[in-house]
Amino acid sequence: MQRTYIMVKPDGVQRGLIGKIITRIEERGLKLVALKMYIIPEDVARAHYGEHEGKPFFKSLLDFITSGPSVSMVVEGKEAIKIMRSTVGSTNPQDASPGTLRGDFSLDMGRNIIHASDSIESANREIGIHFSESEIVSFTRIDEQWIYE
């Protein structure tokens, strides 16, 4: 099983979308193995978005992501990264298909409600930034036999 990192950003939290987002993840068949809500400290935000340092939008990105509570999750399942990226939709909500989280719940790239890791390397790095190994649980959901062949 593959793990990926998902974050409901402060705009998604403020708009009361946490439950809808988690419902979509679970209904798709993926499993939550870690979950926490917190206001991301600036040093953690810098580590998370380090690849954008030096870009013109970096400071506003840090200001936004640390502006209020967000929800961090580790999601597990076969091809979890690919499945979550398609569930989330295009980074720019104006390009996101209806039925995706961004296509259904956001309009502006700077307020696109959710982050999903884009590769195994990113997922491992981002999970390590936001969670210790002891915060991630391992268990078998009772319905996994009906989800996977």
* Domain spans, the chain: 2-136
Band of residue 46 on the pLDDT scale cut at 50, 70, 90: very high
Task: Provide, rounded to the nearest whole percent, the portion of the chain with pLDDT above 70.
Answer: 100
Q: Please name the helix (run of DSSP H) or strand (run of DSSP E) that holds residue 30, with its range, or none.
A: none
Residue 133 is predicted with a pLDDT of 96
| Dihedral sign computed on CA atoms, order 72, 16, 101, 147 | positive
pTM, 2 dp:
0.94
3-13 average pLDDT score: 98
Q: Would you please indicate which residues are annotated as catalytic (active-site) residues?
A: 115
Question: 10 Å Cβ neighbour count for 21?
Answer: 21
Q: Which residue has the tokens 């099983």?
A: 1
Band of residue 109 on the pLDDT scale cut at 50, 70, 90: confident
* pLDDT per position as a tens digit, 80-91: 999 999 999 999
The domain defined by 2-136 folds into Alpha-Beta Plaits (3.30.70)
